[in-house]
Structure 1
Amino acid sequence: MNRQVIVPPTGLLPHRPYSPAVLIDRLLFVSGHTGADPVTRAFSDDITEQTEQAFRNLRSVIEAAGGSMADVAKATVFMTDMDADFQAMNAVFKRMFPDRPPARSTVGVAHLARPGLKVEIEVVAVIGSAA
């Protein structure tokens, strides 16, 4: 078994005791990413913009592992306000995965890591599966 910690091009590691992603052979486990910019940590209060940024953050980690968004097999979305924000998040999700979307769970939560964050997304990908 080959196990490797994946760090995105920003080189930034989380401020907590976890890895941005772990690649085991071809299976990539990507930690949850929010709609905050990875360098400035700033974020919009708009759910669409937060969801788009979360996907940019995820894409950066997946590409650092040699994969693409088409390799994503499973996504878990955590949201603080499913009633108000689900449709907007779902519209972005559809744009990210226009063909053959991954399996997905969407979970309502009371809070995320920082006040004002509305969405966090984690994924599991099989690198090289999109052929």
Structure 2
Amino acid sequence: MSDATDKAALQPKIIHAEQAPKPVGLYPHARQVGNLLFLSGVGPRKAGCKDIPGVELDAQGKIKSYDIEAQCHSVFTNIRLILEAANASWMDLVDVTVYLTNMDDDFDAYNRIYAEYFADNQPCRTTIEINKLPTPIAIELKCIAALQQNNAPSRKANEG
């Protein structure tokens, strides 16, 4: 394969998933480089609005109460929507970083629901407790997928 073909195959491709919630900043839902797909942080917001499943806010917009189970199911749905926009699937996920705002209260429920979604595919996982997320959510995931050959940018065989 020539250097030009190598460089073309590795040019990042930006993925915008129309069905997923819009990012809260200037970043894409995902970027594909070669056969790797890098998802930006994905939260549980609903597409087309600012609603967050299971969250009750006070008058100042601060979290009054939340349902981690509803947020987990919603964030996994959003990840699936982004994967589908990139012609990828749940089985392509190889690494998941999870950010929780309350490890003590939420880890057990999150871990149980995570196991339901990842029973057939077990990517590497890191779970980190953080102080706060940019929107009033309790969970966010950042994922990496390794795409099957037919999803990766086309490469011509070296005719050398």
For structure 2, the 5+ residue unaligned runs are 1-9, 55-65, 150-160
Shift of 1:13: 4.1
Rg larger for: 2
Partner residue of 1:53? 74
Partner residue of 1:78? 99
Partner residue of 2:139? 119
Measure, in 1, the Cα distance between the counterparts of 2:71 and 2:21.
Answer: 19
Identity of aligned residues (%): 30
Measure, in 2, the Cα distance between the counterparts of 1:11 and 1:114.
Answer: 16
The one-letter amino acid paired with 1:18 is: Y
Quickly say closer, same or farther: Cα 1:15–1:120, change in 2 above 3 A.
Answer: closer
* Runs ≥4 residues deviating over 3 A: none
For structure 1, the 5+ residue unaligned runs are none
Measure, in 2, the Cα distance between the counterparts of 1:64 and 1:36.
Answer: 17
TM-score (norm 2): 0.75
- Please state whether the residue corresponding to 1:99 is helix, strand or coil: coil
| Number of equivalences | 128
- Please state whether the residue corresponding to 2:40 is helix, strand or coil: strand
TM-score (norm 1): 0.91
Measure, in 2, the Cα distance between the counterparts of 1:120 and 1:12.
Answer: 13
* Of 68, 83, 105, the match for 2:126: 105
Give the RMSD, CA atoms, in angstroms.
1.5
Quickly say closer, same or farther: Cα 1:3–1:68, change in 2 above 3 A.
Answer: same
Instruction: Identify the structure with the greater strand proportion.
Output: 1
* Of 4, 7, 10, the match for 2:19: 10
Measure, in 1, the Cα distance between the counterparts of 2:88 and 2:109.
Answer: 26
Matches within 5 A, 1:32-51: 32-43=41-52, 44=54, 45-51=66-72
Does residue 62 (structure 1) correspond to residue 83 (structure 2)? The answer is: yes
On the 8 A contact 2:20/2:81 being kept in 1, the answer is no
